[in-house]
Chain A
Amino acid sequence: MSTTLLLLVVLGLALAAWLAARARAWSFQREVGARGLRSLPNYHAWYVALWVALPALIFLVVWSVASPPLVLQSVLASEAASALPEFGFKRESMLAEARAVATGAAPAVFNPEAQGLVEPFRDALGTFNLIGLAVTIVVAFVGGAWAFLRLRPDFTARTRVERAVMTLLLIASLVAILTTLGIFASLVFETARFFGMVSPIDFLFGTHWGPDPMANAANPDGDTYGAIPLFWGTIFIGAIIAMIVAIPLGLMSAIYLTQYANPRIRAWVKPMLEILAGVPTVVYGYFAALTVAPAIRDLALAAGMSNPSSESALAAGIVMGVMIIPFVSSMADDSITAVPQAMRDGSLAMGATTSETIRRVLIPAALPGIVAGIMLAISRAIGETMIVVMAASTAANLSANPLEAMTTVTVQIVAMLTGEGSFNHPATLSAFALGFVLFLVTLGLNFIALRVVKRFREAYD
């Protein structure tokens, strides 16, 4: 709440500064005439407003991260804190409770022992809020005053504001790099911790997966961390079953839409196919679990299988394939249309039928693009989470039978991180190692696919 308040204070001060600076610039204009002013009055206004807002906002960000630990420290320094248990869950929950009461988020403490902490918390919060407010206002005033005093008729406010804008744009574009680095760093860091407990060789080449989040964390059993069954399940569901569904359907849809359908039908059908990609994956997951999986189970029973799994790899794979159809189809569509018309005309002129032209000329010519599209589709499929979480099993199984239960990397990431295990347990950390593998594989697939597409485009340009 206090952060919102501080934000409003800063914005209010910035607005006041904006108006004041513009009035000042106007007064210059009256003195020296419009020609004498180097920049328009609005730029003077923005210059001062930026000097008020930016330093204060930077302080706010730092403060909102730094102040909770400071508050906590001052609470722990109080007398009441000496009654706290040394470590563990109870200590955390008492502190959280007292904080909630002190901030007004909760009406009263549940645990009477935490009552003593409420007052210190309230005091500390009050003090630190006051300090935060005071420093914010001082920072804003100092920045604003410094900028305001620099205003002169020949002050180049515009260039300075524009330089600030450019810096802002540059920073915004750096967010992407920061995010990539953040993903990489967090995955590498947690994976390194995991490999400190379980050997990478056990993890990458072991064939038995069954981490026990409740087992002793100190010396984990490396034999239960073999991820091969997960990799196989992921490949089997995402790259084999789903692709067996998606490639023929997506490719044939694209061929029909680009080569046979008349433009009016194409204009309607293409967006409708895209809807398939727009349906949230949780809906597909529900569909797979509720409708497809029982149907496959019934079919298997009717075919004479004894005790087929209701969480078969087939159900998840088929539904995932349906989800991927528009993906394959639009990539294939693009690369078929990119084949020069002359090649198609040449083939037709030699007397080939349309289908012969497609099969013998267009597809071979478009093949690199189609393959790249399929690679992107695979990377999409193996990273897909909700369908497999809802329809596939959590039991790791190394088998080539599509009717058997199988699990995937993403299912295990979800299972390991939403369980009860502590954050320092190798079972929990294994999720990050799995995530890291997933990240690298999808990155690799995308990288190769994009290069193929690029080279393919150059070939026909």
Chain B
Amino acid sequence: MTERVAPTRTPAFEARLKQRYASERRFRVIGLSAIVFSLSVLAFLLVSMGYNGIGGFQRAELTVPIDFAESGVAGDASTLSGPTGISALETQGLPDVVAFYAEQALGAEGAAELSPGAWREVAEAVVANPDILRETVTFDLPASADLASAMRGDGGDEMRALAERLSSEDKLDRNLDVGFLERSDATDPQQVGIWGALKGSMLTMFVTLLLAFPIGVMAALYLEEYAPKNRWTDLIEVSINNLAAVPSIIFGLLGLAVFLWIFPTYRSAPLIGGLTLALMTMPVIVISGRNAIKAVPPSIRDGALAIGASPVQVVFHHVLPLALPGILTGTIIGMARALGETAPLLMIGMRAFIATPPDGFTSPATVLPVQIFLWSDEVNQGFVERTSAAIIVLLVFLLVMNGLAIYLRNRFEKKW
């Protein structure tokens, strides 16, 4: 008679159990590694952008002392103020003066590698403070793109030798470039800045917010509070849900075919860009707004109705204020998406090279993501770092917006 073994303890079962536990562990590890992989891609993306981008906030600058008293450039606060100040300095030969002192300080070879627009920075400094015309001032002026890339170790041998010599003489250095946040697009990576695109983005976002927020909130209120259950309401709901899923480039085609057909003179204007993005953002606001309104308990409405408020008063005095934090959260998230949107704006012509910041809603502009796209297409190596720096600026804005949304949600949203 053999010893009786419980069926759950036969060797075959034990082996199976072991196998099953092993597969359980494997499954778990696979799940964990999927998350780890996704997050590490995110980390790699952000770190590589950050690493490249830090270089984009710096630029190679040549040290040039200029003795204005000796040079004979003259002027005072009254003659140099206003928009003609810089051209007044130009007619006095400031570019030549800068070239002369650059040659003195850096030698002919070095002076040739001064960025062509360098004298403009001197002129701006003089206009800002005409008193320096009596003194000797040392400027850090942008080097040419070639010299800058030679400093990074690219480019021809001659240029690299020059960069090495100037660096060892302490005349060439990479400095923090505050001007990157104040200038606009340029053909020379040493001279570019992000301000023009940033301003364009702000103007565009302003138009978007101004249109999408009120229309979105009103549509959400209507659908959630008043709309009768009929075929029209269904149609509105279906089209809002569909609009939220339509690829953004289709909105660009709409903007191109409709808005630019109505306003042909406003090509690449923030007004048209804002209109297009507003249509794209509105469904997002409607959907999140409806959820926020739905979350307000019916007892609030019943209470207000019971003491004699009209349906409109119920909504505007009671429901809307309670739903507002939720609506705002959704709005900020929608705006953040619109801020990062590129494709529809390419369609309506916001991809032109624009070297001055826009001065209104109807002047030609570009926006941050489009600027990133344009720079990423540049052949010049100097643009790689600049592009990453622009991406950092964009990501910082998105981070701030999303942080604000999370803060609003945690601070003001009530659980009923």
Q: Which residues from B are CB-within-8-Å of A446? A: 241-242, 245
Q: Select which of A105, A173, A255, A414 is within 8 A of B31 by beta carbon.
A: A255
**Smallest Cβ-Cβ distance to A443: which chain B residue:** B242
Q: Select which of A168, A279, A386 is within 8 A of B343 by beta carbon.
A: A386
Which of B21-29, B85-93, B150-158 contacts the other chain?
B21-29
Is B398 part of the contact surface with A, judged by Cβ < 8 Å? yes
A177/B35 contact (C-beta < 8 A), A172-B219, A186-B253, A386-B342 known:
no
Q: How far is the CB of A45 from chain B (nearest CB, A)?
A: 16
The answer to whether B34 and A179 have CB atoms under 8 Å apart is no
Within 8 A of A (CB), among B258-273: 258, 262, 265
The answer to whether B243 and A180 have CB atoms under 8 Å apart is yes
Q: Which residues from B are CB-within-8-Å of A169? A: 218-219, 221-222, 226
Q: Which residues from A are CB-within-8-Å of B39? A: 269, 272-273
Q: Select which of A172, A282, A286 is within 8 A of B218 by beta carbon.
A: A172
The answer to whether B219 and A173 have CB atoms under 8 Å apart is yes
Within 8 A of A (CB), among B65-96: none
The answer to whether B249 and A383 have CB atoms under 8 Å apart is yes
The answer to whether A173 and B222 have CB atoms under 8 Å apart is yes
Which of B115-123, B139-147, B171-179, B232-240 contacts the other chain?
B232-240
Q: Which residues from B are CB-within-8-Å of A287? A: 45, 48-49
A158/B310 contact (C-beta < 8 A), A174-B236, A175-B282, A286-B387 known:
yes
A187 to B347 CA separation, bound complex (whole angstroms)? 14
The answer to whether A282 and B247 have CB atoms under 8 Å apart is no
Q: Which residues from B are CB-within-8-Å of A252? A: 30-31, 33-35
B243-257: CB near A (< 8 Å → 1, else 0) gives 101111111011011
B199-236: CB near A (< 8 Å → 1, else 0) gives 00000000000000011101101110011000000011
Is A353 part of the contact surface with B, judged by Cβ < 8 Å? yes
Q: How far is the CB of B266 from chain A (nearest CB, A)?
A: 10
Q: Which residues from B are CB-within-8-Å of A1? A: 360
Q: Select which of A180, A380, A383 is within 8 A of B239 by beta carbon.
A: A180
Within 8 A of B (CB), among A145-192: 158, 162, 165-166, 168-170, 172-177, 179-180, 182-183, 186-187, 189-190
Q: Which residues from A are CB-within-8-Å of B33? A: 252
The answer to whether A291 and B250 have CB atoms under 8 Å apart is no
The answer to whether A182 and B254 have CB atoms under 8 Å apart is yes
Which of A76-84, A134-142, A298-306, A432-440 contacts the other chain?
A432-440
A165 to B48 CA separation, bound complex (whole angstroms)? 52
A390 to B377 CA separation, bound complex (whole angstroms)? 8
SS class of chain A's interface: helix, strand, loop or mixed? Answer: helix
The answer to whether A68 and B38 have CB atoms under 8 Å apart is no
A380 to B247 CA separation, bound complex (whole angstroms)? 7
Is B60 part of the contact surface with A, judged by Cβ < 8 Å? no
A172/B38 contact (C-beta < 8 A), A183-B254, A355-B24 known:
no
Number of interface residues of A (CB under 8 A): 91
The answer to whether B283 and A176 have CB atoms under 8 Å apart is yes
The answer to whether A176 and B219 have CB atoms under 8 Å apart is yes
Q: How far is the CB of B49 from chain A (nearest CB, A)?
A: 7
Within 8 A of B (CB), among A7-24: none
Q: How far is the CB of B327 from chain A (nearest CB, A)?
A: 14
A180/B242 contact (C-beta < 8 A), A390-B373, A414-B346, A432-B253 known:
yes
**Smallest Cβ-Cβ distance to A439: which chain B residue:** B250
Is A224 part of the contact surface with B, judged by Cβ < 8 Å? no
The answer to whether B42 and A286 have CB atoms under 8 Å apart is no
A397 to B215 CA separation, bound complex (whole angstroms)? 44
The answer to whether B262 and A65 have CB atoms under 8 Å apart is yes
The answer to whether B222 and A286 have CB atoms under 8 Å apart is no
A385 to B219 CA separation, bound complex (whole angstroms)? 29
Q: How far is the CB of B278 from chain A (nearest CB, A)?
A: 9
Is A110 part of the contact surface with B, judged by Cβ < 8 Å? no
Is B165 part of the contact surface with A, judged by Cβ < 8 Å? no
SS class of chain B's interface: helix, strand, loop or mixed? Answer: helix
Number of interface residues of B (CB under 8 A): 85
Interface centre among A96, A166, A376 (most CB of B within 10 A): A166
Is B159 part of the contact surface with A, judged by Cβ < 8 Å? no
Q: How far is the CB of B44 from chain A (nearest CB, A)?
A: 8
**Smallest Cβ-Cβ distance to A381: which chain B residue:** B247
Q: Select which of A65, A189, A260, A417 is within 8 A of B28 by beta carbon.
A: A260
B347-361: CB near A (< 8 Å → 1, else 0) gives 100010000000010
Q: Select which of B37, B310, B316, B369 is within 8 A of A280 by beta carbon.
A: B369
A273 to B35 CA separation, bound complex (whole angstroms)? 8
A250 to B340 CA separation, bound complex (whole angstroms)? 23
A188 to B279 CA separation, bound complex (whole angstroms)? 19
Q: How far is the CB of B88 from chain A (nearest CB, A)?
A: 16
A417 to B20 CA separation, bound complex (whole angstroms)? 57
Q: Which residues from A are CB-within-8-Å of B379? A: none
Q: How far is the CB of A76 from chain B (nearest CB, A)?
A: 16
10 CB-based A-B contacts, threshold 8 Å? A169-B222, A172-B215, A172-B219, A175-B282, A252-B34, A276-B41, A280-B341, A383-B246, A410-B343, A442-B245
Residues of A within 8 A of B (CB): 1, 65, 68, 96, 99, 105, 158, 162, 165-166, 168-170, 172-177, 179-180, 182-183, 186-187, 189-190, 248-253, 255-257, 259-260, 269, 271-273, 275-276, 278-287, 289-291, 322, 325-326, 353-356, 358-359, 376, 379-380, 382-386, 389-390, 410, 413-414, 417-418, 431-432, 435, 438-439, 442-443, 446-447, 450
Residues of B within 8 A of A (CB): 20-21, 23-24, 27-28, 30-35, 37-39, 41-42, 45, 48-49, 214-216, 218-219, 221-223, 226-227, 235-236, 239-243, 245-251, 253-254, 256-258, 262, 265, 279, 282-283, 286, 310-312, 316, 336-337, 339-343, 346-347, 351, 360, 363, 369-370, 372-373, 376, 384, 387-388, 391, 394-395, 398, 402, 406
